[in-house]
Chain A
């Protein structure tokens, strides 16, 4: 973004040359993978499993066996949870477009899920989650589909599962998923509303609307799907499409104007309508009405403005107002208590309290159960509730409530207490950043650490046994426990190696959580008030999180803070939201809605005098707004203003544009922090032949240690290092879809390297017969990208390395020392940079979900690519495998340099999976954070699961490893000392002998 090419630093180059050789000679012998022993699992890494925001829940609480609840979530997860603890028995993550419509339990042993818009029905084994069968239903028109598992007709007989949507009904056998019958009700624009089965009959009733004014009832045979009876009637003022089944022969619907209710009674092919004005029922009625899907006999719930009304249906034209509940609330579905009794729950939020009420249809005025619990305000409001009952010892009914909160967390509440809670908002992380922990206060006694010498020795003796393979399984477990306990990884202070940090994550629900890198526990969490639905901002969503203030020189006493940026609504011109949160406490320091939109956020490499980072927000009107708004930041900003460049990628328009800031001639006091953008250049890709697939740039905070690369023959190559390199991949429009949609002839992939200051295309390469999806990562002077090669029908990874040729003659060290090099040669924006590009391609086995590169504190350590594979694992791939200088037969000197002989595909060594035998389900991103220890990178990867570990791409050359045996060292020293004494004694003896002789 800022500045042009960096000047070479002479001393650096020389040091680099030396350092490089040393480093190389040190690690040449080291193996390529940094593998883990099985007993080291959990020492440096942690893995947390989540499921996401629960959409549906079905309880399975039979008298025998484990009590569980089966849930489906917005992250397309179907999972079985232990009802006692909330642990996951099993879960299956469906494909990314395979949204779950409904979940149910059939035959008491299969979990049935309907997904992909009602077109896929799957059955999973309830105990272990193994898929039993899968059935695809032909769905002609996409419509809301529902699942209806018929109640047990006869014990031992195969039950049918009905799937209905639009105008068709499918009946499937729950044993094997075969379609038993299929009925296309031959009326266009029929929307089936409900299917129900009157008690003890072979008939299924189907009710629905045709168009907007006709109501139909079908009676269908359960066994064959034959239509037994059919009746319809039209209602002149029309329906809005919402209906609620109240009795077996009575449906209540909303009319088209949404101001009155229509009760529809049907019996023996006779349909009667009764219109009931809502204003008659509710005196102060106004606004829009929606029917709540409360499957409850003789009961109706409607939502008006911000409250719900419970209405009792006494007859076809008689409704009675029961209760009004104001927002925020949640109502559960009906739960059958016995054959004749039903119950449902109403939850009402009252500031920090939640009131639970359970009502049964015997007595709607009073409650069976009334409880109040205290709720953490950081969980927000209630969103959903599912209810389940159990029989207490005194034969009364007790109730469990499964509650989904606004922050997507899941809680089980029983007897007025929270039995367990799951922080499932963490399954939908939007962005993350890190924060250093506070410095350790003085006065912590050292004695505490070495509290017991005996214990310490015993521990090391055990460890020694472990390394010598002499330990018994019990002892191995003890070693594990000691390691976990003794490691200081969970302390809340900064450590010497920089392993302990806070990872600050922003979730889709608008919650900010701080996770400790030691064990991943939540240190604090805050549901940002600015990102909650309110009257000023109806549909807010979280965008990014940045470091706002990182005090280290000045303002040491202040806590660091992060900036959370959101947007009010999904349009690009929607106003932005700013929230500044203290990184140590989670307290919201400042929060406001911006007057402008947010289309691009640029953290600048500048800070004001209180160490607040300057951020430039570009809005949809191409105006740049500077934050924080104070005169000090403005002063710093003016100094750097001519050096600020940025670019925008407009994928739909196939355009990349470069901008700088218009210099401000006169300062307008009101608009002091607003600047005008000036378009510098634009690249328009021809839309008939190219379509932007992916763009990638270097990480802003990446540190490059050396600009020069020493090659085998004592030659130096200068890396072309620029923060302004943009990698763009375009594909031909025909090949823009999925694999299998294009032939090799029509697929082309272009890779570009673009300088974002001048807009100059530094390099362009075409891959014929290649298509996306493209994943790319840019670091130092290289790009690695992953794409699909249609000719070979395999995935490929290519590397492009870019070198600066204009400095190629600066190699002479003496010239550098004497200052006779041409560093003073003019560097001009307009002259074409003299670059040399090397590239090479390799096959790669797997599909890739995400790619990243390791980052270390000083950039000395060699790099590893992190590849998130389709199997949700993270593979660490040494950059040395992606070196364009690889050849089939490297020369002796090249071998010494560490160049690996060329192979056509990249090796996948199982030991180099940093996730070892774990999976990060639905992996979305990997974040690398440099530790203070140069050799080590912290890796945080997230999807539905979270996984954190630390890796050392060149092994931990700068510290002793965890399993370093101090005891062995001690023993060696003791033995040596003993040997010295023994030999001394021997020599004394000998000397004495000599003398006597």
Chain B
């Protein structure tokens, strides 16, 4: 299946108008702003993707929970300096958790990396690792799969016995058959007597 979805998680970059890791006005932490974006769709069309409609963004295993906005952005406010973990819970996609370091020494400096493959998010572009298919796909009917099933094997063997074995016998030399039969008889007779 083609992975049509690309996810951009944009953390603290200078391209965005509002400073993303600005100390919030109450002063007890920083704000982390990220973005979830689907490639091949305009930001307007994103809302139509019902699969990501209820995507939840979870900070530090449930300390804070926020939701993805229609344009794909999300923000955590009042996050203290330190190393944090952001997880994305979206049904149908497998997201790697993201490690986010907020520097205490350089206020507002944020680094991010995927924890699954340790890929640093320098340009902060994250592809979902995969699309999740929760159901086993029914394989289309094929002769092979039928033959492989116990029933198929049984039938195959029976057909083999029915149609091929007589042929084998037929192809043998009648003399040989007689000899073999006699041999058998001699082998069995002493025992039966």
Contact = CB atoms under 8 A, between A and B. Distances in A.
Given A129-B53, A140-B26, A908-B94, A92 B67 contact: yes
Interface string B140-178: 110000000001001100110010000000000000000
A976 interface: yes
A968 B149 CA distance: 11
Nearest to A965: B151
B135 A846 contact: no
B53 A128 contact: yes
A606 interface: no
B87 A975 contact: no
Interface string A860-885: 00000000011111000000000000
Interface stretch (B8-16, B75-83, B183-191): B75-83
Nearest to B69: A131
Contacts, number: 149
Given A131-B69, A134-B75, A913 B151 contact: no
Interface string B60-75: 1111111111100011
A740 B82 contact: yes
Interface stretch (A30-38, A398-406, A824-832): A30-38
B133 A910 contact: yes
A98 interface: yes
B120 interface: no
A110 B83 CA distance: 35
Interface stretch (A43-51, A370-378, A383-391, A787-795): A787-795
Contacts of A913: 134
Contacts of B97: 794, 845-847
B70 A132 contact: yes
A96 B94 contact: no
A639 interface: no
B134 A969 contact: no
Interface residues of B, number: 55
Nearest to B149: A968
Contacts of A470: 141
Contacts of B182: none
A136 B24 contact: yes
Contacts of A870: 58, 61-62, 87, 89
A133 B155 contact: no
A849 B155 CA distance: 50
A979 B58 CA distance: 64
Nearest to A116: B64
A739 B84 CA distance: 6
Contacts of A979: 158-159, 162
A883 to B, nearest CB: 23
B133 A739 contact: no
A95 B134 contact: no
A784 B188 CA distance: 64
Nearest to A849: B62
Contacts of B159: 979
Contact of B135 (A36, A872, A976): A36
A469 B141 contact: yes
B7 interface: no
Nearest to A869: B89
Nearest to A122: B67
A96 B26 CA distance: 23
Interface in A933-976: 968-969, 972, 975-976
Interface string B40-72: 000000010000011010101111111111100
B37 interface: no
A134 B141 contact: no
A870 B88 CA distance: 9
Contacts of A910: 94, 132-134
Contact of A468 (B74, B96, B141, B151): B141
Interface string A973-991: 0011001000100000000
Given A131-B68, A979-B158, A136 B133 contact: no
A741 interface: yes
B99 A871 contact: no
Interface in A122-165: 122, 125, 128-134, 136, 138-140
A917 B91 contact: yes
Nearest to A39: B138
A913 B133 CA distance: 10
B151 A969 contact: yes
Nearest to B102: A740
Contacts of B103: none
B151 A972 contact: yes
Interface string A3-42: 0000000000000000000000000000000011111010
A652 interface: no
Interface string A724-756: 000000000000001111000000000000000
A36 B135 CA distance: 5
A905 B141 CA distance: 36
A95 B94 contact: no
A972 B138 CA distance: 22
A231 interface: no
A139 B58 CA distance: 22
A911 interface: yes
Q: Counting chain A CB atoms within 10 Å of each CB, which of B24, B70, B74, B134 scores highest?
A: B134
Given A37-B138, A129-B53, A910-B132, A871 B158 contact: no
A326 interface: no
A773 interface: yes
Contacts of A467: 141
A739 B138 contact: no
B35 to A, nearest CB: 14
A420 to B, nearest CB: 24
B65 A94 contact: yes
B181 interface: no
B99 A98 contact: no
A422 interface: no
B111 to A, nearest CB: 12
A910 B151 CA distance: 30
A919 interface: yes
Interface string A456-500: 000000000001111000000000000000000000000000000
B79 to A, nearest CB: 8
B115 A794 contact: yes
Interface string A582-602: 000000000000000000000
A676 B70 CA distance: 63
B85 interface: yes
B116 interface: yes
Contact of A911 (B84, B136, B151): B136
B140 to A, nearest CB: 5
A96 B59 CA distance: 12
A760 interface: no
Contacts of B60: 738-740
B107 interface: no
A35 B91 contact: no
A486 to B, nearest CB: 21
Contact of A35 (B54, B79, B90, B136): B136
B148 to A, nearest CB: 13
B62 A847 contact: yes
A916 interface: yes
B53 A130 contact: yes
22 contacts: A37-B137, A38-B135, A41-B135, A131-B67, A131-B68, A134-B69, A136-B75, A469-B138, A738-B61, A739-B60, A739-B85, A740-B79, A740-B80, A847-B58, A849-B62, A870-B62, A870-B87, A910-B133, A911-B133, A916-B135, A917-B92, A972-B155
3 shortest interchain CB distances as A-B pairs? A95-B65, A871-B89, A138-B26
Interface of B: 24-26, 47, 53-54, 56, 58, 60-70, 74-75, 77-80, 82-85, 87, 89-92, 94, 96-97, 99, 115-116, 132-138, 140-141, 151, 154-155, 158-159, 162
Given A130-B53, A917-B91, A976-B158, 18 more contacts: A92-B54, A96-B65, A125-B70, A128-B47, A129-B53, A130-B47, A131-B68, A131-B70, A469-B140, A773-B61, A788-B61, A793-B99, A847-B62, A870-B62, A911-B133, A917-B135, A972-B155, A983-B162
